[in-house]
Amino acid sequence: MMKVFISAQLPAITVEKIEAANIEVTMYSQDTLITHAELLAAVQDVDFLITPLSTQVDKEIIDGAPKLKLIANFGAGFNNIDFKYARSKNIAVTNTPVVSTNSVAEVTLGLILDLSHRIVEGDMMMRTTGFPGWSPLFFLGHEIAGKTLGIVGMGNIGQAVAQKARALSMNVQYWQHHQLSDPEERSLGAKYVSMAELLKTSDFISINAPLTDENFHQFNAAAFEQMKKTVALINVGRGPIVDEAALVKALQAGEIGGAALDVYEHEPQVTPVLTEMKNVILTPHIGNATVEARDAMGNIVAENIIAVANQQAPKYVIN
């Protein structure tokens, strides 16, 4: 019987589907993240590995699993896996794109609304000091209708963010290395601009891009200096795209208005000073943390495991 090791707790339907295909399943059941040593010990005799973004799969892990045929990453990203080395060992690496698009887009808009209307800040006030009562100038925020949203990364998630933002009467502009077609832009109501123009003119900037060698610390001190002093930065892409030390300095100096982060440069750690700022919202990487998205992701990894077990090609191979 073929074996699969799952390095984190997954939805029950994922395990049930794999077991129904007569594949033996072992799953790491602790609430903490699996350690490198624990993972190395667990993969020695497995045919398949399912792992989340929080688990690093390096050369040592790959070499320690001589029977390994597939690494199925539970997530749209794959920076946690040495996928090039896996390919040299004839091991396919897959991810779970598309299915988390709507969830991440909803979280993006939720963070924009939270920052604009100071919802989290208000909640903290009510749980601590309370408020003196309604008055015309008390606790003012801003409406997002008519404001300009700049989206960095116009893939599936970026386009979903654009659609939702337009429904809320925002003006949408975007930047990425390639411009969308004219019909795509018109259907989204989005305008293609240079990165410099996006930084200069956006009221909100949403990072919806994957991490690459090129965009590491793309949002650095120089980028913050180009932004409006009132701009709000939202990062639901990948943490290292933002230089957190530079972000802290920009916030402290009043160079930008606020930030909302769902991902972090040194995840799961967050730069401590950020936790003390009222104009910063911090969430624990919950972009696709919905039952619907996680079940769909689990279905993809299960189907890919079963496909390879039956000597068929898996979907969403990234190497």
Residue 160 belongs to a domain: yes
272 with 296, same domain: the answer is no
Phi, psi of 108 (to 5 degrees): -55, -50
Q: What is the mean pLDDT of residues 75-99?
A: 94
What's CA 167's distance to the chain center, in Å?
A: 23
Q: For the residues of 55-108, what is the DSSP string, one character each?
A: S-B-HHHHHT-TT--EEEEESS--TTB-HHHHHHTT-EEE---STTHHHHHHHH
73 with 129, same domain: the answer is no
Cα 14 to Cα 219, 303, 307, distances in angstroms: 37, 9, 14
Cα 230 to Cα 187, 282, 319, distances in angstroms: 29, 19, 41
Residue 54 belongs to a domain: yes
63 with 36, same domain: the answer is yes
Residue 314 belongs to a domain: no
245 with 133, same domain: the answer is yes
pLDDT in tens, 174-207: 999 999 999 999 999 999 999 999 999 999 999 9
The pLDDT value given to residue 76: 87
Closest residue by Cα to residue 154 from 103, 118, 225, 105: 105
Distance in angstroms (rounded) separating the CA atoms of residues 271 and 20: 44
Distance in angstroms (rounded) separating the CA atoms of residues 70 and 246: 39
258 with 200, same domain: the answer is yes
CATH number, domain containing residue 43: 3.40.50.720
127 with 88, same domain: the answer is no
Residue 26 belongs to a domain: yes
74 with 89, same domain: the answer is yes
pLDDT in tens, 6-39: 999 999 999 999 999 999 999 999 989 999 999 9
Query: What is the extent of the structural domain holding 25?
Result: 3-97+291-309
Residues noted as catalytic: 238, 267, 285
222 with 78, same domain: the answer is no
pLDDT in tens, 255-292: 999 999 999 999 999 999 999 999 999 999 999 999 99
Q: What is the mean pLDDT of residues 59-79?
A: 94
Residue 318 belongs to a domain: no
Question: pTM higher than 0.75, yes or no?
Answer: yes
Query: What is the count of structural domains for the chain?
Result: 2
The pLDDT value given to residue 159: 98
Amino acid at 235: N
Residue 114 three-state SS: helix
Q: What is the mean pLDDT of residues 57-68?
A: 97
81 with 185, same domain: the answer is no
Residue 257 belongs to a domain: yes
67 with 168, same domain: the answer is no
Residue 273 belongs to a domain: yes
Contact 106, 112 (CB under 8 A): no
Residue 317 belongs to a domain: no
> How confident is the prediction for the chain on average, in pLDDT?
96
16 with 161, same domain: the answer is no
